[in-house]
Structure 1
């Protein structure tokens, strides 16, 4: 994922009224991006509807192998069209917002085709069908409960080609995004690639020892979020002036890291670093949304912890001059404030009003006092050297 830090800037400073420490938009150049994106969405909609009409006119039996092959062929054809559009709009014209849409369309299309090919290889080529599994598990104990013994029994009765299904699906999702990133250097694709690599690492561990990874899934999720946050900081350190596409990639890494890290930390607070076997029997017992929606003391505790974590996100955001971490946590912050206010016994309209006023006021204050607060926080940090690349100093000319 490395690239030279001497790349051309994402946007020209002379063409912008933004102050030096203000973040450029990593998803929009100008209104022409919006105009082009509308056209891309309309075109993709037409391609999808047109492919559906062609498929229905072929007269193939719905769900049959030939029907599936025709469908995959059309999806693959759409992926090819999307690639050529990307070469024009992203590769030549550097259109960012259309590139995000095209990256999503290309990634989804190729992932579907590759996943289907793997499923067909397993079912048609290797004979891993329903009859196969019925014969393999015909003598399975009826009273076997979830645990390491049950997981080991299942693993012993499925072939290697099926055990690596998670890795195959992870690669199927990562490959088109990596192709897009290395071909067009789109920052959004770089962020998605980071998520894909972290997820693939977790899926690989799950393939090696599914029981241990499943039990320690709260800790694994925290590690994924932390890895993405660290990757974003590394990319930012390579472009402290926020001028190249390295900085854009860092934005998306931070943007994806924040919700993963926040929800993971809250799950750790709720259930601990690992799960009990009983949790797998009743997944709703560790549902984060269900816990926050309840009127229990646990909901109040989670809400307080969520605000503490978001406050830490705000501190890190100020230090590294990245607002993406805060933006990603606004929804959870609003829910948490609402839970706390609701504990006072106020009626619903009052709860909503106080929640919105509190959340909006905090965001406005942060926006207005961003640089002065950063200047105070950065006083003990040297203005030059390696730390200054991670924590960019505030210009004396900025308010």
Structure 2
């Protein structure tokens, strides 16, 4: 007599959000091997550089180092072809995409620096002379214009080159392997390159309006995530995975930008550059002052809005990215009540953990309530997907 067993493949409910960074434990197992292998390559590269006996910083030393870095990037690409391209291993792909992007970006930037030195004939002394005329001048449009007038175009476009050195490798990786994490990095690279281009066109405008521009960058990534989600409201394809990472990157950028605006306003004043500490967001949040309390309350309000948007679009990434800042904010508020350090930590963890557990337990009932006035079909339903009728 043959015994028939029915094994449930997954305990996930139809309306639950799938993991965009992990398939199963085999992903973890393979990632451990990839990390060990890459660490071995790094140590081996260090041994090769030592064995060559070249003087550090000299051209031959740079050439050898970049060849090894490029070799590690190439190895990461070839290994990706097997693990990501053929086997669709997500977590190892995240590691390999990161290594490939960093290694390739470093080589590209170094290559452009070589062009500047050997092709354009620029040297450190020439750059120092460029800034001689602004010594002692306060930051302002006049000082910026004076520097720009003396900088060759090959130096002025450096911010765009840096943006492209980040964007091009991750774009190539995404187009080749369709890894959602690389798609998120590609979105980050697009907005970064756009800002760097604007910086080349009018650096004074970008610096002065940095708080507002940071808000727009965060909103652009959030909108990009929503657009990808609209193409996959069922959260079943790689498009949804790419949307997850866009949301994941958008949340901390947007939260930090809003806090920055709360602290100093939508634009910087030229006087702010005389005292950089006055616009230091981290110092302000870490201080024991009324401003720290105000920033903490603002952070919690923004995270509350993140939670609302997350519920509406069925995305937990926005909340997850803001958990650290939420903890700091709750701690700052509790600390204003003059409790001891232990009590502050305890209350912070209890409040933060309680909110997350409550959201986890009541996610779908709350979503169903919030979505009552929203049509369950049409364009809006693709932005705010209805709750599945199946509820475990």
Partner-residue secondary structure (3-state), 2:387: coil
Q: Distance in 2 between matches of 1:324 and 1:60?
A: 47
Residue by residue, what CA displacement relative to the aligned partner does 1:149-198 show, whole Å, maximum 9, x if unpaired?
00000000010000000000110111110010000000000000000000
- 2:85 is aligned to 91
C-alpha displacement of 1:372: 0.3
Aligned residue for 2:22?
A: 28
Q: 1:200 to 1:393 in 2, by over 3 A?
A: same
Instruction: Please give the alpha-carbon distance, in whole angstroms, between the structure 2 residues aligned to 1:118 and 1:257.
Output: 30
Q: CA deviation at 1:266?
A: 0.5
CA-CA distance at 1:397 after TM superposition: 2.5
Deviation at 1:282, TM superposition (A): 2.3
3-state SS, counterpart of residue 339 of structure 1 = helix
CA 142–234 in structure 1, closer or farther in 2 if over 3 Å, else same: closer
Rounded to whole Å, the distance in 1 between the matches of 2:249 and 2:330 is 22
How far is 1:54 from its partner?
Answer: 1.1
Aligned counterpart in structure 1 of residue 274 of structure 2, from 272, 281, 305 = 281
Match of 1:381 among 368, 374, 377: 374
C-alpha distance 297-313 of structure 1, shift in aligned 2 (>3 A): same
Q: CA deviation at 1:136?
A: 4.2
Call closer, same or farther: CA 1:41–1:145 in 2, change over 3 Å. Answer: same
Query: 65, 72, 78: which is aligned to 1:71?
Result: 65
Any conservation in 1 of the 2:54–2:61 contact (CA below 8 Å)? Answer: yes
Shift of 1:121: 1.0
2:102 corresponds to 1:116: no
User: Does 2:40 match 1:42?
Assistant: no
Q: Distance in 2 between matches of 1:141 and 1:362?
A: 52
The C-alpha deviation readout for 1:302-321, integer Å capped at 9, x for no partner, is: 11111000000000000000
Distance 1:179 1:324 in 2: 25
For structure 2, the 5+ residue unaligned runs are 1-7
Deviations along 1:210-252, one digit per CA (max 9) or x if unpaired, are: 0011000000000000000000000001000000000000000
How far apart are residue 141 of structure 1 and its match? 5.4
Q: Does 1:145 find its partner at 2:134? A: no
Once residues 130 and 339 of structure 2 are traced to their aligned partners in structure 1, the CA distance between those partners, rounded to angstroms, is: 59
Aligned residues: 385
Q: Distance in 2 between matches of 1:119 and 1:223?
A: 31
Which residue in the other structure is 1:6 paired with? none
Q: d(CA) in 2 for partners of 1:359 and 1:242?
A: 27
User: What is the CA–CA distance in structure 2 between the aligned matches of 1:256 and 1:72, rounded to whole Å?
Assistant: 29
Aligned equivalent of 1:16: 10
122, 129, 133: which is aligned to 2:123? 129
CA distance in structure 1 between the aligned counterparts of 2:358 and 2:228, rounded to whole angstroms: 28
TM-score between the two structures when normalised by the length of structure 2: 0.96
Alignment counterpart, residue 213 of structure 2, candidates 215, 220, 224: 220
Structure 2 counterpart of 1:211: 204
Could you say if the C-alpha distance between residues 132 and 386 of structure 1 is closer, same or farther in structure 2, counting changes exceeding 3 Å?
A: same
Residues 218 and 254 in structure 2, CA contact (< 8 A), matched pair in contact too: yes
Distance (Å, rounded) in 1 between the aligned partners of 2:276 and 2:9:
53
CA pair 362-141 structure 1, distance change in 2 beyond 3 A: closer
Cα distance in 1 between the residues matched to 2:222 and 2:271 = 32
CA 1:277–1:383: 2 relative to 1, 3 Å: same
SS at match of 1:220: helix
Structure 1 residues 21-54: Cα deviation after superposition (integer angstroms, max 9, x where no partner): 1111100000000010000001101111111111
> Structure 1 residues 102 and 142 mapped into 2: Cα distance closer, same or farther (>3 Å)?
closer
Query: Hey, what's the Cα distance between the residues in 2 that align with 1:309 and 1:238?
Result: 27
Q: TM-score normalized by structure 1? A: 0.95
1:299 aligned partner: 292
How far the C-alpha of 1:134 sits from its partner, in A, is: 4.1
Provide, for residues 244-291 of structure 1, a one-character-per-residue CA deviation record: whole Å limited to 9, x for no partner: 000000000000000000000010010000001122232221111111
2:156 to 163, 179, 182: 163
